[in-house]
Chain A
Amino acid sequence: MGDTNKETIDSIEAPIYLKYNFTAGLAPARFLSHLKKGILTGQRCPKCDNVYVPPRGSCPACGVATETEVVLGNKATVQSFTIVSIPIPGNPIEPPFIVANLVPDGANTSFIHLMSECVNEEVRIGQRVTAVWKPEEEWGFAMDNIRYFKPLDEPDIPVELIGHLSVNGEEG
């Protein structure tokens, strides 16, 4: 025994690789099938009438299934956002980039997505944006068929109306 000069090993690197299949379920499967055709859809709660996007199959507030499909437009409003200055592991996007919480017209919930073709310092809550889709041949069953959202030349939406626009961008 006894080479006391040896370096003590107190840990080793043992990376874990996790491969998994994603089972969409009924509601997200309908959502993803529409995305494959270049259509963004939400689902309406039969009780409170709110439209969820992406739909996960139920309205958590009412505890009921969302069964009615609603076709949403390409336009959305910035609910809030952050300017990210550090890279996302495994993602080629170069910082700084904008991750925004966006509410598409006709929906009552937001999702996160990238904003681009914009001046980062000029992005603001209430700003109007539109989806920029990938070329059709690249569409899969995935939300990143939309490459990013870019600013629209439209007046900002008052904060109290964010999340309350109809599918044609009007109040109500």
Chain B
Amino acid sequence: MGELAAVVGIGQTKYASRRGDVSIAGLVREAAGNALEDADLGFKDIDAVVIGKAPDMFEGVVMPEIYLTDALGANGKPMLRVHTAGSVGGSTALVAASHVQSGTFRRVLTVTFEKQSESNAMWALSSPQPFSVHLNAGAGGYFAPIIREYIRRSNAPSDIGIMVAVKDRLHGARNPLSHLNLPNISHQEVEDSMMLWDPIRFLEACPSSDGACAMIIANEELVSESPKPPAWILGGAMRSEPTIYAGRDEVNPRAGRDCAKEVYAQAGISNPRRQFDCAEVYVPFSWYEPMWLENLGFADQGEGWRLTLDGATSLDEGGDIPWNCSGGVLSSNPIGASGMIRFAEAARQVRGDADQHQVENAQLALGHAYGGGAQFFSMWVVGARKP
């Protein structure tokens, strides 16, 4: 992995369905400014900028990184754009980390964003092509049949998804940055919400959010220049696979399993459920919690739903492996930033800086993102202790 690197600053915006008070430039500037403040640094202390977002078609701004250089203090500095669909927030963080781990730069600013209120994701993701019928009912329409197959295979009780939807919103109610604030959400309310793409109900799906997330990643030498405890990067990996190939397991994608295996090997993880104190995992539709519990090795095949059922992933129920204490993608979803929020929230936990959604004495956390047709994966492991 090269040289040691750590997260020394984290900045997020407030997530909302519409941030009409800022432009895209204002949005990323807000996150970057918050991260610099958190690290007690200024733009002059940054050697390079790594930026990511979901497809340009969303907001219709082509190569927005060029227009955003001023807002990010990147004039005259190396800047790189990362694009890996919905997993981009995670892979952008990993690219930024590698800028430091390689020894090329000493301190890097990384930012991701989405302004869904100025975009049309459904349109951007479904341009008609003649070899396929034009039925793309958004991401929910794509993932619903995969979830149906998971339920068939695992024989999970039909309300596991509802339980995840409630749990992540209760977590989100602890997080003042969260887009959705639903402290009184009930099982019945989720169950009664409209079935959009059977078996996905309205309240089992993520919201559309505006927002940005930023981090400052520094090398070992510069870590002490920032006042707060660092989150040491103990491992990072990306894997991808084609959307379609004969024999592909869409429920339990190999790229996800391989990515977890690699990042665990780097960080010395042999039993993720026992060794991690918490995890921030990309769960845009409720059923992806049990599916990823299995894909990431927190549970055996077909058994992931039992952890949800037992409250193992719930902060409120005192679970042993809380997932998405920040509220997760189900509470805030500025798509391009959603992966980086997972990585940043994992880092906040091991820095002991997660306020009302802090897991007590968290030492080791997993950040995870996925994208495309569940084919792009990025993950990192962060820890409180210097390796």
Contact = CB atoms under 8 A, between A and B. Distances in A.
A10 B148 contact: no
Interface stretch (B42-50, B195-203, B225-233): B195-203
A83 B131 contact: no
A99 to B, nearest CB: 5
Between A45, A52, A60, the greatest number of chain B beta carbons within 10 A of the residue's beta carbon is seen for A60
A61 B136 contact: no
A83 B246 contact: no
Interface in B44-85: 60
A120 B60 CA distance: 37
B245 A10 contact: no
Question: Contact residue range for chain A?
Answer: 35 or more
Interface string B235-250: 0000000101111100
B122 A31 contact: no
* Chain A interface helix/strand/loop/mixed: loop
A85 B148 contact: no
Contact of B137 (A28, A48, A59, A84): A84
A46 B306 CA distance: 43
Contact of A82 (B60, B145, B245, B246): B145
A48 B248 CA distance: 13
Contacts of A18: 127
Contact of B245 (A99, A109, A140): A109
Contact of A111 (B20, B130, B132, B242): B132
A71 interface: no
Interface in A85-109: 85-86, 88-89, 91, 93, 99-101, 108-109
B246 A59 contact: yes
Interface of A: 10-11, 16, 18, 20, 22, 24, 28, 31-32, 45, 48, 50-52, 54, 56, 59-61, 79-86, 88-89, 91, 93, 99-101, 108-109, 111-114, 125, 140-144, 146, 159, 163
30 contacts: A22-B130, A24-B130, A28-B130, A45-B246, A48-B246, A50-B247, A51-B246, A54-B131, A59-B246, A60-B244, A61-B245, A61-B246, A80-B146, A80-B149, A82-B137, A82-B141, A82-B148, A82-B200, A84-B196, A84-B198, A85-B194, A85-B196, A85-B197, A86-B137, A88-B135, A140-B130, A142-B130, A143-B131, A143-B133, A146-B133
